[in-house]
Amino acid sequence: MQETEVLEGSEAVAFAVKACRPQVISAYPISPQTHIVEALARMIADGEMDSEYVRVESEFSAASVISGASAAGSRSYTASSSQGLLLMTEVLYASAGMRLPFVITGVNRAISVPISIQVDHQDTISLRDSGVIQFYVESSQEAYDTHIAAFKIAEDPGILLPVSVCMDGWILTHSYERVSFLEQEEVDRFLPPFKPKNFLDVNDPKSWGSYAEEDVLMEFKYSIHRAMQYGKERIKEIFSELATITGRDHGGLIEAYRTRDAEVILVAMGSMVGTIKEAIDKLRSQGQRVGLIKIRCYRPFPFEDILDNIKVAKVVAVMDANFSMGSEGALGMDLKAKLCGRRGAPLVLDCVAGLGGREVNEKRVLEIVERAREVEESGLPLDEPYWAGLRPEILPEGAENDRQGKIG
């Protein structure tokens, strides 16, 4: 019988991390991540948890400390948000290159400037090329479960990469939800102690990150990509192994929601998924064939699983809570790149939604579905991504003539 409690999302994550018994934790405060590491600090101080907690002077140091700890053979953990994640970037590329399997909670928050503490995915999306595996979650329960899976995935001998569990700031970290916990013995059985084959061992000296012959870098990088690409099946196995223990199946790399006969399929990740599901139920009850693909694993990109679920779709509408300035949103780009040249591929409607906490409510989702229907009718893609909920009245004059959101 699992214990269930109503508690803050941050606290749920802290309980998950505690159950995974990391030996080293290091962090620097930044909202909205702070409650997680404060809870861990308290658990360690109260003797409920046996870990070294290193309070450092910046996120750069935090990422470096846990990388060092990981190289020394310890299970290690950190959490950050926004500017803090950006500051970790240089370190994280190196850690992935060194194949260090630690876990980071990426509590999603917008990036300055302008200064904003509201949620969007720009921070973790900026790390998508680093070699860090990325999961996105919809609820506190999923955050709890995914953290437990994350350590096992990171440490899998065929994977060995940092894993980031990304969760929306405030909406998930600061709201209270009912969360069920595993027994410690169950977690211990699922996740045995970290015993890496390679670590800094005084009896068997090895080196990490050294200069390599210039003509091998490409192979090193390809190896990270391989570990991700071929790790996909392993990730799914680990997720389903955990699901049999918890009795909760959040899906594999994706969750397909009412997609089987859907003509319009939305693609999204993070907490907005909950709102989208409700909107879809409503549309379904009106007879519209609409579905959703929730991306749980963003890196590696689960294209095969997406493809399996969009076979009959006419339009796929991607909702990106991030944007690559001067181009498009990341999810939209990934999907279009993979679909390009495939016979019978659906049209893609790319939307930017929820930047800097701009609300994604049912009305907005319905608007997007309507747009998708227009695209379906015209048979043409958009000229430029549609910025859902943009406020033209505060944009510079002339913006009303922009091609944003206009069809072909």
Partner 1 sequence: MSVREYLRERFMPHLWCPGCGHGIIMNNLIRAIESLGIKKNDIVMVTGIGCSSRISGYLDFHTLHTLHGRALAFATGVKLARPELKIIVPMGDGDAIAIGGNHFIHAARRNIDITAIIMNNRVYGMTGGQFSPLSGYGTLATTAPYGNIYEAFDTVELARGAGASFVARTTTYHVRSMKEIIEKAIMHKGFSVVEILSQCPTYFGRKNKRGDAVEMLKYLKESTAPIGSERKRKNPALIERGIFVEEDRPEYCAEYEKIVEKAQKG
Ligand X SMILES: Cc1ncc(C[n+]2csc(CCOP(=O)(O)OP(=O)(O)O)c2C)c(N)n1
* Residue ranges that bind partner 1, judged by CB under 8 A: 28-31, 34, 37-38, 41-42, 45-46, 55, 57-58, 83, 112, 115
Q: Is 29 in the site for ligand X (CB under 6 A)?
A: yes
Rank residues 57 and 400 by Cβ distance to partner 1 and give the closer one: 57
For ligand X, which is the closer residue by CB, 32 or 196?
32
Task: Indicate the pairing of strand 264-268 with strand 290-295.
Answer: parallel
Bridge partners, residue 164, by sequence:
104, 134
Minimum separation from the CB atom of position 60 to partner 1 (A): 8
d(CA 261, CA 346): 14
Write 64-69 long-range contacts (CB < 8 A, 24+): 64/91, 65/24, 65/26, 66/24, 66/25, 66/26, 66/102, 67/91, 67/94, 67/95, 67/98, 67/100, 67/102, 69/23, 69/24, 69/26, 69/102
| Minimum separation from the CB atom of position 29 to partner 1 (A) | 4
* Among 62-70, 82-90, 243-251, 386-394, the segment contacting ligand X (CB under 6 A): 82-90
**Residue ranges in 46-75 that form contacts with ligand X under rule CB under 6 A:** 59
Indicate which of partner 1, ligand X, none lies near residue 115 (CB less than 5 to 8 Å, by partner kind). partner 1
Residue 41 interacts, among ligand X, partner 1, none and using kind-specific CB cut-offs from 5 to 8 Å, with partner 1
Residue 378: how many other CB atoms lie within 10 Å: 12
Q: Does 87 bind ligand X (CB under 6 A)?
A: yes
Residue (4 or 58) nearer to partner 1, CB: 58
Tell me how far, at minimum, the Cβ of 49 lies from partner 1, in Å.
Answer: 13
- Is 30 or 267 the residue whose CB approaches ligand X more closely? 30
Residue 106 C-beta: closest distance to partner 1, Å: 17
Pairing of the two strands 52-55 and 24-27: parallel
Binding at 321: pick from ligand X, partner 1, none (beta carbon under 5-8 Å per type): none
**Cβ 129 to ligand X shortest distance, Å:** 20
**Of 58 and 244, which has the nearer Cβ to ligand X?**
58
Stretch that binds ligand X, among 22-30, 183-191, 225-233, 248-256 (CB under 6 A): 22-30
Q: Is 349 among the residues that bind ligand X (CB under 6 A)?
A: no
**By CB under 6 A, residue 41 contacts ligand X:** no
Q: Give the residue, chosen from 22, 32, 84, 169, that forms a contact with ligand X under the rule CB under 6 A.
A: 84
Q: Is 150 in the site for ligand X (CB under 6 A)?
A: no
Cβ atoms of 317 and 374 within 8 Å: the answer is no
Q: Which of residues 114 and 344 has its CB atom nearest to partner 1 in the complex?
A: 114
Q: How far apart are CA 32 and CA 169, in angstroms?
A: 5
State how far the Cα of 104 lies from the Cα of 66, in Å rounded to an integer.
10
Distance CA 239, CA 52 (A): 28
* Among candidate residues 29, 79, 70, 24, the one with its CA nearest the CA of residue 49: 24
User: Is residue 83 a contact residue for ligand X (CB under 6 A)?
Assistant: yes
In the complex with partner 1, which residue's Cβ is closer, 34 or 89?
34
Site for ligand X (CB under 6 A): which residue of 30, 40, 283, 297? 30
The count of C-alpha atoms lying within 13 angstroms of the C-alpha of 93, restricted to the half-sphere facing its C-beta, is: 9
Indicate if the alpha-carbon torsion angle 30, 34, 36, 40 is positive or negative: positive
Which residues are at the interface with ligand X (CB under 6 A)? 28-30, 59, 83-84, 87
